């Protein structure tokens, strides 16, 4: 992604993820405030292994824990490095923005996003919610999916996220405890967790079949 952003002349800051294969990575993430110090990963793993969750086939949850911590690190980096900038875009390292990414994004912000928005998924698979414009869905919790599974099954996708910078702290205050709920290991998927609390926060999404602009 570094090469592609340079080609498009888009300034960026690279934020390293959290590699749980490193010996002290978990403790370091807790010390950094990315993971609650009350989070018992052993207990969460045991819960994940129960038949109702059926997560043992994926192996250890540590990779997902690290992924969640990495997302929160990137958001916090925006707060520390650029608190005065109104918008924050977080892209995963395997995306390749189109040539007109910036003008299309800016067009969506100016002409389609409602005033109350806090976060936007720029490419959401299996979106669930209410269509509010030609390209945007107001994400809502899917009550057809059980709460203990974190409403899992819809609104996948964090390849690109747009945040109101000053709302990041408020989002994390509600969002992080849900992600690291040991009784609900499916919530470790940050995209699913955010969708599950979309009745408490203003979360919008561009369905992956749509192209804003």
Residue 212 within any structural domain of the chain: no
Going by pLDDT thresholds of 50, 70 and 90, the confidence category of residue 211 is: low
Residue with token string 């390293």:
16
Residue 85 within any structural domain of the chain: yes
Going by pLDDT thresholds of 50, 70 and 90, the confidence category of residue 210 is: low
Question: 28: domain range?
Answer: 2-207
For a pLDDT cut of 70, what percent of the chain falls above it? 98
Residue 24 within any structural domain of the chain: yes
Q: 29's torsion region: left (phi>0), alpha (psi -120 to 50) or beta?
A: alpha
Q: Could you read off the pLDDT of 93-125 as tens digits, one per residue?
A: 889 999 999 999 999 999 999 999 999 999 998
Helix, strand, coil percentages (3-state) for the chain, rounded to 5, are: 40, 15, 45
Residue 153 within any structural domain of the chain: yes
Residue 105 within any structural domain of the chain: yes
Residue 122 within any structural domain of the chain: yes
Residue 202 within any structural domain of the chain: yes
pTM of the model: 0.92
Give residue 98's Cα distance to chain centre: 21
The overall average pLDDT reported for the chain is 93
Going by pLDDT thresholds of 50, 70 and 90, the confidence category of residue 163 is: very high
Residue 75 within any structural domain of the chain: yes
The whole-number average pLDDT for the span 141-151 is: 94
Predicted pLDDT at 213: 45
What is the number of domains present in the chain? 1
């Amino acid at each position: 992604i570094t090469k592609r952003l340079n080609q498009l002349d888009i300034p960026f800051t690279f934020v390293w993820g959290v590699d749980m294969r490193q010996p002290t990575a978990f403790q370091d993430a807790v010390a950094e405030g990315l993971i609650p110090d009350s989070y018992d990963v052993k207990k969460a793993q045991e819960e994940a292994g129960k038949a109702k969750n059926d997560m043992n086939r994926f192996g250890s949850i540590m990779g997902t824990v690290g992924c969640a911590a990495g997302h929160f690190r990137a958001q916090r980096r925006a707060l520390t490095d650029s608190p005065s900038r109104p918008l924050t875009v977080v892209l995963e390292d395997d995306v390749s923005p189109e040539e007109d990414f910036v003008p299309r994004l800016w067009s969506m912000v100016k002409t389609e996003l409602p005033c109350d928005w806090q976060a936007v998924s720029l490419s959401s698979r299996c979106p669930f919610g209410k269509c509010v414009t030609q390209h945007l869905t107001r994400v809502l919790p899917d009550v057809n999916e059980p709460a203990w599974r974190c409403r899992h099954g819809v609104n996948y996708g964090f390849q690109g996220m747009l945040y109101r910078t000053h709302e990041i702290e408020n989002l994390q205050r509600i969002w992080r405890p849900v992600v690291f709920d040991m009784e609900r290991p499916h919530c470790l998927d940050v995209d699913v967790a955010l969708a599950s609390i979309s009745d408490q926060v203003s979360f919008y999404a561009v369905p992956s079949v749509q192209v804003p602009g």
